[in-house]
A and B are shown apart, each in its own frame.
Chain A
Amino acid sequence: MTELFVNGEARRVHADPMTPLSGVLREELHLRGTKAACGEGFCGSCTVFVDDDAVASCLVPLGLAEGRSVRTVESLADPTGALSPLQQAMKDNDAVQCGMCFPGMLMSLTALLETNPSPERRDVHEALVGNICRCTGYERIVDAALTAARAATAAVEEDAS
């Protein structure tokens, strides 16, 4: 039995400690927003937060997540159900196509925006170096991230003034 905190809630899971975290999230906790498209850490579709780091959960054995905080795509919308600004920007930009990469994209970009609220375009590219999208050609995803960042920065400045 391994205890970890998933999306703010203490969860006990039965899987073997060597089971990839992505598998535990998907199979045992039924959090299937986290995808596992390659299972080898190259596509980024399984990206989740472990504590403050966005990581490929297919490469994290459950045992290493013991006692730690895990955040998945299901946690991004606020408790009232409203999309996060980043999710909303993706929707407004018509960025989504098949959708398989988006959970991972959103987690990588959420990590970026939490550490760098005013990223340049190349910062977004660097943040997505581990996330493959086969449908969109990326531009709208990058645009949406920059839009969300600008909106958040503007809101902060407005509060300050």
Chain B
Amino acid sequence: MSDVIGANLPRRDAEDKLRGRTVFTVDAAEGGLLHAALCRSQVPAGRIVSIDLEPARRMPGVRAVVSAADAPGRYGITIADHPLFAVDQIRYLGEPIAAVAAETLEQARAAASAIVVEVEEYTPLVTMAQALADDARDLHPGWEDYDVLVEGGRRGRNIGWEATVVRGDTDAAFARDDVRIVETEFVAGRQNQAPLEPRACVAGYENGRFVIQTSTQVPWAVRNSTARLLGVREADVRVVVPPVGGGFGMKFEVSLEPFAALLARAAGRPVKLVNSRQEEMQTALCRENAEIRIRSAVTESGEIVAREAVVLMDCGAYGGEQPFLTSMTAHTLGGNYRLGAVRLVSRAVYTNTPPNGAFRACNGTYCTAALERHTDEICAAIGMDRVEFRRRNVLGDGDLGSTGQVFEGDVLAPMIDRMVALRDSAPVERADDGRLHGTATTVGTWFIFVGPSAATVNLNPDGTATLVTAGVEIGSGSTMQAIPQLVADSLGLRPEDVTVRAADTDAAGYDGGVGGGRTTVSLGAAGVAACDEVRRKVFDLAAEMLEAAPGDLVLTDGHVAVNGVPSARITLREVAERAQSVSGPISGSGSFTGIGVQPMSGCAAGHMIGALDLPVFAVHECDVAVDPDTGHVEVLAYRVVQDVGRAINPRAVRGQVQGGVVQGLGYALHEEITIDARGKVRQTGFETYRMPLSGDVVPVRLDLYEGAPSFGPLGVKGAGEVPILNVAAAVSCAVADAIGKPVSQIPLTPQRVLGLVLGRADEDVELRHIGPGWRANVIADPDELMAAAGV
């Protein structure tokens, strides 16, 4: 092991970013670019009577106009329900109807607004309660005919996907006479990722192929979805990705790329398409709003003998990520604690609102908030200390998760002990200033979204290495720090001798994308595997040159050396040069995918992720002060103990934790996308969508927990996604502790907190559209599900 691992390597892209030289997609300005604009629906729901594109075609500067007839396909993750342009029906305000390319942006926008769309309006179903009403209109009348891309989820009417968990005899456990039953409801708002670089792309059509430069986290998904939507071969789409100005999950699926591609082909010139900030606010693929009810049966000694939960996730007008994300309830709300029996249902619900998407620790943020509030209510009901309850009940070595997977290693319990030590090392003073003080300790379970990645490593004749992957630099620094550190460590090079090629689907093999904390694990592992092949080839050749056995050789400090004989060494450059005339250039390829941990048979239905290949844990604590006169919540201190497996670059990890916690504070306290009765997002810009500013935040005190089991390279786990996981939980629990009343809704705006303090009824959460008990909330036959699980 070299000293590269665990080193705080600086970012190689920092200087250009500080000089203003970095060219993001939104900055693309090559000559001859056409500019594009979308004609978007001005109503949230209706039947399209007619579309007249002719006025746009006659406008000055216009070079191409395209619409639904040009894009025959539909896409999705589990269900292909999403056309590129609205077809027959409008399902959300802002839905694209046509696209225009013109010589200037102003001309494109003018032409897009000249398109005449006649719509027979429907009453929009903007809430899940409306969409689930018995007499609700079907948002997708033809849903049964959509292509099913992943089997297993139940669907019906406005429920785009249903995933269920059944393990053990929940009914019997709830009927025990020695248990108390605790029920908690929780409602979470919709959160906009709001990366500062909006979604943007430039597309060209060259030699019969689409060439797309785009601000994305998932070049391969863009390649494949674009091909599907346009009805062309996947091989005829090339995606390249320059530095991305933030993503946080919003750029985890195709967005503007197919529009620009169609226009480029039609116009015969490259086309740039960028969402305005107003378009980003109206159509961001937000973290979904969610509504949750949890019931648990708990003994006086604190054993959770049964748990039931219903989770409604608003997927908006099309399924997108949410059907996939229903899987995560099992591992977030169903995680953290040992459960006797468990029954869960997660439903992705269609509404006439913009489609939602992925956002850092998707589903985990609100499920953890609901679970941890519920846990505190259990502690109150049985009179047990909240930290002690958690220490006793958290999942440890050999314990079963909700879907029956067996967890490995005691991780959460020692992390709780580390948190107590962290707290005691710097106690937070409670000023006697009339404010209500509270504190909370919360635990969270998340996962590393492992999955396929490919890498190639070229050993160049000068003795340096180039790593070719489809990894994208979205700002987290993985491709600038951890990954070159891993490659450098493996090849005995300095990190500055490792070049990481920017993502290009023509150059690199398939990759699942940058998100889900997977980059350092999956791309890192593929890169290390590629290095292994390079090492073998180098050792074989160097063994001849050094007259030593390959097994005795090591790579260090840019040299191949005979282990234990410091004088017997040659430079890697000499080996690389020698290879030119002996074997040809040395390169290696490597790949990686998850290990495929399975749930217990029959326990998980409709789950794309039935069990966690690589779980990751977090313990968060915060101290708050609540002003009882205004409802303002001040976070006084914030502490994190995070399971990172192994920190390749501790300083970079700390930067991710600070940033992730602050995004979570915004989510917990003031960020919320709300939608009016006409389907319009009320927050049209950063004036009304309030994100944390520098004066709002506190420095996070962090203890990195290393050594938990991981099959990631060198035992690493991803560190960038999980920091946001239990922030809303910690803040909600701390505020409840401060005001001495249950907290059932986020964000905790001053108005909402004041309402709670004053006991105003309008702050009560009522989820009448969630039926009583689990059985009333499943489309599937409950008895069949129970029988499949052996109950």
Instruction: State yes or no: do A and B come from one complex.
Output: yes
Q: Tell me the residues in window 637-669 of chain B with beta carbons closer than 8 Å to chain A beta carbons.
A: 651-652, 655, 658-663
State in angstroms the CA–CA spacing of A29 and B244 once bound together.
23
B451 is an interface residue with CB less than 8 A from chain A: no
State in angstroms the CA–CA spacing of A96 and B245 once bound together.
11
A155 smallest CB distance to B (angstroms): 20
User: B663 contacts A134, CB within 8 Å?
Assistant: yes
State in angstroms the CA–CA spacing of A126 and B24 once bound together.
29
State in angstroms the CA–CA spacing of A150 and B652 once bound together.
24
Q: A32-B20, A87-B19 are in contact. Are A97 and B655 (CB under 8 A)?
A: yes
Write out the residue numbers on chain B whose beta carbons fall within 8 Å of the beta carbon of A100. 24, 195-197, 245-246
Write out the residue numbers on chain B whose beta carbons fall within 8 Å of the beta carbon of A20. none
Give the residue of A30, A76, A125, A139 whose beta carbon is less than 8 angstroms from that of B29.
Answer: A30
User: A136 contacts B196, CB within 8 Å?
Assistant: no
A34 is an interface residue with CB less than 8 A from chain B: yes
* Chain B interface size range: 35 or more
Write out the residue numbers on chain A whose beta carbons fall within 8 Å of the beta carbon of B692. 137-138
Write out the residue numbers on chain A whose beta carbons fall within 8 Å of the beta carbon of B699. 139
Q: Tell me the residues in window 187-235 of chain B with beta carbons closer than 8 Å to chain A beta carbons.
A: 193-198
Give the residue of B15, B194, B246 whose beta carbon is less than 8 angstroms from that of A91.
Answer: B15
A42 smallest CB distance to B (angstroms): 4
B702 smallest CB distance to A (angstroms): 11
> Of residues A31, A92, A135, which shows the largest number of chain B Cβ atoms within 10 Å of its Cβ?
A135
Mostly helix, strand, loop or mixed at chain A's interface?
Answer: loop
A72 is an interface residue with CB less than 8 A from chain B: yes
Give the residue of A27, A98, A129, A140 whose beta carbon is less than 8 angstroms from that of B658.
Answer: A140
Q: Tell me the residues in window 232-283 of chain B with beta carbons closer than 8 Å to chain A beta carbons.
A: 243-246, 248, 276-277
B650 smallest CB distance to A (angstroms): 10
A22 is an interface residue with CB less than 8 A from chain B: no
Closest to A106 in B: B18
Q: A90-B14, A137-B697 are in contact. Are A72 and B20 (CB under 8 A)?
A: yes
Q: CB-defined interface of A81-113 with B at 8 Å, one 1/0 digit per residue? A: 001000100111011111111110010000000
B323 smallest CB distance to A (angstroms): 27
Write out the residue numbers on chain A whose beta carbons fall within 8 Å of the beta carbon of B193. 134
Q: CB-defined interface of A26-41 with B at 8 Å, one 1/0 digit per residue? A: 1100111111011110
User: A138 contacts B244, CB within 8 Å?
Assistant: no
Chain A: residues with Cβ within 8 Å of the partner, total of 54
Closest to B665 in A: A137
A54 is an interface residue with CB less than 8 A from chain B: no
User: B20 contacts A74, CB within 8 Å?
Assistant: yes
A137 smallest CB distance to B (angstroms): 3
User: B659 contacts A97, CB within 8 Å?
Assistant: yes
User: B686 contacts A43, CB within 8 Å?
Assistant: yes
User: A96 contacts B658, CB within 8 Å?
Assistant: no
Q: Tell me the residues in window 94-115 of chain B with beta carbons closer than 8 Å to chain A beta carbons.
A: none
User: B695 contacts A129, CB within 8 Å?
Assistant: yes
State in angstroms the CA–CA spacing of A40 and B697 once bound together.
24
A124 smallest CB distance to B (angstroms): 7
A45 is an interface residue with CB less than 8 A from chain B: yes
User: B29 contacts A140, CB within 8 Å?
Assistant: no
Give the residue of A40, A97, A103, A125 whose beta carbon is less than 8 angstroms from that of B694.
Answer: A125
Write out the residue numbers on chain A whose beta carbons fall within 8 Å of the beta carbon of B17. 96, 99, 102
Q: A42-B685, A99-B475, A106-B18 are in contact. Are A94 and B694 (CB under 8 A)?
A: no
B23 is an interface residue with CB less than 8 A from chain A: yes
Give the residue of A26, A42, A137 whose beta carbon is less than 8 angstroms from that of B686.
Answer: A42
Write out the residue numbers on chain A whose beta carbons fall within 8 Å of the beta carbon of B23. 32
A10 is an interface residue with CB less than 8 A from chain B: no
Write out the residue numbers on chain B whose beta carbons fall within 8 Å of the beta carbon of A140. 655, 658
Q: A87-B18, A98-B245 are in contact. Are A35 and B196 (CB under 8 A)?
A: yes
User: A37 contacts B277, CB within 8 Å?
Assistant: yes
State in angstroms the CA–CA spacing of A32 and B197 once bound together.
13
User: B18 contacts A132, CB within 8 Å?
Assistant: no
B69 is an interface residue with CB less than 8 A from chain A: no
User: A137 contacts B22, CB within 8 Å?
Assistant: no
User: A32 contacts B655, CB within 8 Å?
Assistant: no
Write out the residue numbers on chain B whose beta carbons fall within 8 Å of the beta carbon of A14. none
User: A136 contacts B655, CB within 8 Å?
Assistant: yes
User: B686 contacts A98, CB within 8 Å?
Assistant: no
Give the residue of A73, A91, A132, A138 whose beta carbon is less than 8 angstroms from that of B20.
Answer: A73
User: A137 contacts B476, CB within 8 Å?
Assistant: no
B241 smallest CB distance to A (angstroms): 13
Write out the residue numbers on chain A whose beta carbons fall within 8 Å of the beta carbon of B20. 31-34, 72-74, 102-103
User: A99 contacts B655, CB within 8 Å?
Assistant: no
Write out the residue numbers on chain B whose beta carbons fall within 8 Å of the beta carbon of A74. 19-21
Q: CB-defined interface of B681-713 with A at 8 Å, one 1/0 digit per residue? A: 000011100011111010110000000000000
State in angstroms the CA–CA spacing of A73 and B19 once bound together.
6
B58 is an interface residue with CB less than 8 A from chain A: no
Closest to B19 in A: A77
State in angstroms the CA–CA spacing of A62 and B27 once bound together.
20
User: B687 contacts A97, CB within 8 Å?
Assistant: no
A12 smallest CB distance to B (angstroms): 20
Write out the residue numbers on chain A whose beta carbons fall within 8 Å of the beta carbon of B13. 96, 99
Write out the residue numbers on chain A whose beta carbons fall within 8 Å of the beta carbon of B655. 94-95, 97, 136, 140
Q: CB-defined interface of B455-490 with A at 8 Å, one 1/0 digit per residue? A: 000000000000000000011110000000000000
User: B196 contacts A142, CB within 8 Å?
Assistant: no
User: A132 contacts B11, CB within 8 Å?
Assistant: no
State in angstroms the CA–CA spacing of A100 and B348 once bound together.
34
B8 is an interface residue with CB less than 8 A from chain A: yes
B10 is an interface residue with CB less than 8 A from chain A: yes
Write out the residue numbers on chain B whose beta carbons fall within 8 Å of the beta carbon of A134. 193-196, 246, 248, 663, 691
User: A42 contacts B687, CB within 8 Å?
Assistant: yes
Q: A83-B18, A100-B197 are in contact. Are A38 and B29 (CB under 8 A)?
A: no
Write out the residue numbers on chain A whose beta carbons fall within 8 Å of the beta carbon of B27. 26, 32
**What 4 new A-B contacts, CB under 8 Å, besides A38-B277, A134-B194?**
A40-B687, A73-B20, A125-B694, A129-B693
> Which 4 pairs across A and B sit closest by C-beta, in order of nearness?
A33-B20, A98-B475, A99-B17, A137-B662
Q: List 14 A-B contacts (CB under 8 A).
A: A33-B20, A35-B196, A37-B196, A76-B19, A94-B652, A99-B475, A100-B197, A102-B18, A128-B695, A133-B694, A134-B248, A134-B691, A136-B659, A137-B692
Which B residues lie at the A interface, using CB under 8 A? 8, 10-11, 13-15, 17-24, 26-27, 29, 193-198, 243-246, 248, 276-277, 474-477, 651-652, 655, 658-663, 685-687, 691-695, 697, 699-700
